[in-house]
Structure 1
Amino acid sequence: MARGAKSISHDTLNELGQSTRIRYFRRTLIAAGSLPEIDVRLNDLELRSRALIEALPAEHGVIITRFFNWETLRKLRRRPLDSPISVGVANARTTELRKIAAFLAWLGENNLKLPTLNQVAVDRYLAHHDPNLIIGRFLAWVVRHRITQHLDVPRAQSTASPATIAEDAIWEKVDVLLQDDSTPMSSRIIGLFLLVFAQPIRDSVRLRRDDVQSTGVNVKVQFGSTPVVLPPPVAELLVRFLDDTCDRPPYAGAPPGWLFEGVMPQQHLSDASVRFNLAKHGLHAREIKRARLDHLVQVLPASIVADITGVTVNTALRHSSNTRADWGIYPELRTRECKELDLSE
């Protein structure tokens, strides 16, 4: 490309394969305006799936290509550019293709084919393999497109269990993150948002600097429709972080505006890196979020919990019901007059 032998394009970069260096170079060119904006992870997923499918037997590759293009890729391409797919989504879709390929390979090994597949064969496969929604989704698709006859696939049972983390344990973890200087400050703040406000890591890493309001008296963050006032120790840590990062120059182009910038140009911090840092403290996001929501609905109406955390009212009501919270019977209670909520006390 530097010599002019190849055009500066995404197709040219695609010829180089996939690596962190190529991904970084691509994002740099996008940030500089040399390449048009695309969903880089989605582009990588397409390249990865193409390589996976090309290694399969031709008849398997044809059916998986149809499934991927129409059932998966079409939906992912509808997402706006400012809402790219996450690493987790990309990995999940790759795993999906591998599991479907393994299922088709099993059919071949047992002299079975999709057009003549019967319920006995499906039950035999599910009995000897981990039941999951992936095969069920694939079989529902082949039935819907009349590639095979009607088949019944058992629904996977929810493995979610009631939160068992006591509120005292939550606040002990808060104290740990407030005092631990060995963990990156960005991960500490995101961990505190999780512990205090039940914020998923994937949402916290996408916060913008504009979502933070500092008045000199208090610091507010807008997670949902209603801004919340941060407890003083958390506010002090966030203000220190903002001061430390306010003059950081962008890799290329204009400042991206992320509250937590990542190592890739114009990208926010990776949620995987935050999970890694928090796991060292025994913080598991899903369990903590569920437990913290259970705690919040004990002291606030479900509608207010939804406003301040960004979860749906139905989710908050479900937590109210599960915990038999008294507030759960007042879903209509709102705080229309109050434009912010102070949980700092």
Structure 2
Amino acid sequence: MAGSGVRSSPTMALGGRVCGPCSGDDRNWHCVRCGRVDLLVAGTHCLACDTALRSHDLLADPDGQISSQLTGLNTLFTEPDTAESAHRQLAGNSTWVRLLRELIATGAPITHAALDEYGTGASVEHLRRLLVHTGALAPRDDVGSLRPWLEALVAGLPTDLSTALRAYASWSVLRRARRRAARGLLTASAPKYARARLQVAANFLTWLTEHHRILAEATQTDVERWLGEGASTRHRLRDFLRWAHSRGLCADLQVPWLGRDSLPEHLLGDDDRWSGLHRCLTDEGLDLRVRVAGALVLLYGQIPTRIVELTTAHLSTDTRGGSFLRLHDRPVLLPPVLAALIAELTNRPDHRRSAGLTPSTAPEWLFPGRFPSSHLDPGRLAFLLRRAGFAVRPARGAALVALAVDLPAPVLADLLGISVSTATRWSAVAARDYTDYLAARTAYPPR
């Protein structure tokens, strides 16, 4: 009898395979719920049935019914592709599972506001993503979602610090984010960087308080000392200090902008760049995601936040078999080896859609996250690259310099989706003179 619960028997020496019941093992092999022959959980149910029972036990109301709001979540738990991981989490009684059980026990519909009551921890956000993915909750405005996080950030801070941070968030960080969202320019990573700016401002204000100073008394020496005691991410304080000075809250304090002042210092040598690229294209021992992402950094100067937002819609081919990747408005011809790696990446099992769960209009990410509707976290991708020995900043710098040698700044900006001013700075590093290019554009303007 064939079945997934295959056991060894003496005939295995001849290369044969037999099912569990035929192997001579006298345990129960038939699921009491569906009759399937399989290895059973607790000797009674197959994995799929045990998962379905656990899902029903979690999601059902006191009357034993699963509400329409949670039917999509039940479907996700019982999908063949997700049943094993769902069983592992449901059986382990994860934190988000306990949270979901509490919310269901109230008998009220689950809302974003109800989730906000539990704070902004990883378990809460994991559950929120699950509920959004399965249609139980509508996607929330990413800008508005920063409010609960901000309140958690300022909780416990002195009144003067919390007041300053709320004002900075409302009149600068969130205001700009909403404007970008209204123009359709808000990226998926925007909330992360908004949180980073607010966190850095909070850290600096706290540091001043610990040193018995207030923002109005802060000096350039204070700023430089604080910057020197930590990582380069502290330079994000620049935005807060510019805002505070414009409001008369502090002196005109300066923070060097790493994007300009340190530009030439963060370059990978040509030999190291080509060695890294060769490793990406040939080392089968590397994570496939690292190989593709590393090549995109080393060839086209892409950053993790943009790489993870690439979808299969950005890929195309021409009649001659060439493969292209659209990084901004124009497609870029891919080397055949890299095109093959990307094709392999898109054909992996984790790119398959879960039937009935993902809308047909949802993007198919090249770097999918834990759920079919989400992409890989850019911080996670950056970590994978670092762990594999790829430093993104110097690798990106080397790629942009190499491209700037061959491409005028306006073309480079249009091709990669960077600003013309940024492309111009890289062109200056590459010491390229574009006088001839500008003359040609004047003589032969684009049609």
- TM-score, scaled to structure 2: 0.64
SS at match of 2:347: helix
SS at match of 2:139: coil
- 2:251 corresponds to which residue? 151
* Correspondence 1:1-345 to 2 at 5 A: 1-39=103-141, 43=145, 45-80=146-181, 83-84=187-188, 85=190, 87-106=192-211, 109-110=212-213, 117=216, 122-123=219-220, 125-126=222-223, 128-130=225-227, 137-146=239-248, 148=249, 151-156=251-256, 158-162=261-265, 164-215=267-318, 217-245=321-349, 248-250=352-354, 252-254=357-359, 255-264=362-371, 266-326=373-433, 329-331=436-438
- Give the drift of 1:26: 0.8
Amino acid at match of 2:353: P
Over the aligned positions, Cα root-mean-square deviation in angstroms equals 3.2
After the TM superposition, which of the residue ranges 307-316 and 243-252 deviates more from structure 2?
A: 243-252
- Give the drift of 1:12: 0.4
Amino acid at match of 1:154: Q
SS at match of 2:263: coil
- Give the drift of 1:137: 4.6
Report the Cα distance in structure 2 between the residues aligned to 1:332 and 1:245, rounded to whole angstroms: 52
2:143 touches 2:174 (CA, 8 Å); kept in 1? Answer: no
Q: Percent identity?
A: 23
- Give the drift of 1:212: 0.3
1:41 touches 1:90 (CA, 8 Å); kept in 2? Answer: no
Report the Cα distance in structure 2 between the residues aligned to 1:209 and 1:336, rounded to whole angstroms: 34
Residues 203-240 of structure 1: CA deviation (Å, up to 9, x unaligned) = 11111211101347121111122211111111111112
Distance of aligned partners of 1:279 and 1:126 in 2 relative to their CA distance in 1, 3 Å threshold = closer
SS at match of 2:104: coil
Report the Cα distance in structure 1 between the residues aligned to 2:266 and 2:149, rounded to whole angstroms: 37
Distance of aligned partners of 1:4 and 1:173 in 2 relative to their CA distance in 1, 3 Å threshold = same
1:298 touches 1:327 (CA, 8 Å); kept in 2? Answer: no
- Give the drift of 1:268: 1.1
Report the Cα distance in structure 1 between the residues aligned to 2:179 and 2:354, rounded to whole angstroms: 29
- 2:64 corresponds to which residue? none
SS at match of 2:324: strand
- TM-score, scaled to structure 1: 0.80
- Give the drift of 1:61: 2.4
Runs of 5+ consecutive residues of structure 2 not aligned to the other structure: 1-102, 229-233
Report the Cα distance in structure 1 between the residues aligned to 2:269 and 2:112, rounded to whole angstroms: 50
Distance of aligned partners of 1:218 and 1:324 in 2 relative to their CA distance in 1, 3 Å threshold = same
1:297 touches 1:327 (CA, 8 Å); kept in 2? Answer: no
Report the Cα distance in structure 2 between the residues aligned to 1:241 and 1:142, rounded to whole angstroms: 46
Distance of aligned partners of 1:102 and 1:257 in 2 relative to their CA distance in 1, 3 Å threshold = same
- Give the drift of 1:173: 0.9
Distance of aligned partners of 1:93 and 1:181 in 2 relative to their CA distance in 1, 3 Å threshold = farther
Distance of aligned partners of 1:48 and 1:98 in 2 relative to their CA distance in 1, 3 Å threshold = farther
Bigger RCO of structures 1 and 2 (CA < 8 A, at least 6 apart): 1
2:133 touches 2:373 (CA, 8 Å); kept in 1? Answer: yes
Amino acid at match of 2:291: R
Distance of aligned partners of 1:162 and 1:247 in 2 relative to their CA distance in 1, 3 Å threshold = closer
Report the Cα distance in structure 2 between the residues aligned to 1:299 and 1:142, rounded to whole angstroms: 42
SS at match of 2:348: helix
Distance of aligned partners of 1:64 and 1:325 in 2 relative to their CA distance in 1, 3 Å threshold = closer
1:64 touches 1:101 (CA, 8 Å); kept in 2? Answer: no
Distance of aligned partners of 1:68 and 1:225 in 2 relative to their CA distance in 1, 3 Å threshold = closer
SS at match of 1:308: helix
2:315 touches 2:325 (CA, 8 Å); kept in 1? Answer: yes
Report the Cα distance in structure 2 between the residues aligned to 1:196 and 1:127, rounded to whole angstroms: 35
Report the Cα distance in structure 2 between the residues aligned to 1:128 and 1:246, rounded to whole angstroms: 47
Q: Which has the larger radius of gyration?
A: 2
